[in-house]
Chain A
Amino acid sequence: GAVVSQHPSRVICKSGTSVKIECRSLDFQATTMFWYRQFPKKSLMLMATSNEGSKATYEQGVEKDKFLINHASLTLSTLTVTSAHPEDSSFYICSATSRANNEQFFGPGTRLTVL
């Protein structure tokens, strides 16, 4: 099946720093990529929808200046958590939709811990 990678898998940073997470579709072109946040024992909360070459669409309540999304190509989207604080600690998962069949494939996730 299609493969989506995320980097890094884990990151620990100090409060106030910015963290960039990359999401790549390795063997297919992604029409759209999505960024989710998942708290422990909770569901996936959609943060934003990212289309190549255009601005991301953010869900209600998600600060676009806090969570910067760049979708530079059909295989790469990045999420930058700016001026991270402890409450931003979470599991961030991306997904990519295949142009071929519209199926959504998930990345392995990035666990962010802000001290």
Chain B
Amino acid sequence: GENVEQHPSTLSVQEGDSAVIKCTYSDSASNYFPWYKQELGKRPQLIIDIRSNVGEKKDQRIAVTLNKTAKHFSLHITETQPEDSAVYFCAARTSGTYKYIFGTGTRLKVLA
């Protein structure tokens, strides 16, 4: 069945450094890839997304890249700040459905 793998499961970086989180999906029909940030006990919040007809998208300190051939996509956070500390989830949505398959999550800690 559909599967999304996410790495690493935990990531610690110094404030100001960059953080990269990678995801791989199995369903080649997936065409939409959102990234969510979830703080403890809160709902996931969409931070950036990318569609399959685009290779890269950037929004200030956050960027996402997509390699359709390899079926992987990555989240890049530059100039990290302590408030970036949270759990990040990638997801993939298959064309023709609204169903999201989530990755296993990455706990990011930004050390001041």
On A, residues with C-beta under 8 Å from B are 31-32, 34, 41-46, 49, 60, 91, 93, 95, 97, 102-104, 106-109, 111
Contact = CB atoms under 8 A, between A and B. Distances in A.
Given A44-B44, A103-B46, A49 B105 contact: no
B100 A93 contact: no
A93 B89 contact: no
Interface residues of B, number: 19
Contacts of A46: 99-102
Contacts of B43: 93, 106-109
B99 A106 contact: no
Interface in B7-46: 34, 36, 41-46
Contacts of A97: 98
8 contacts: A34-B99, A42-B104, A43-B89, A44-B102, A91-B41, A93-B43, A106-B45, A111-B41
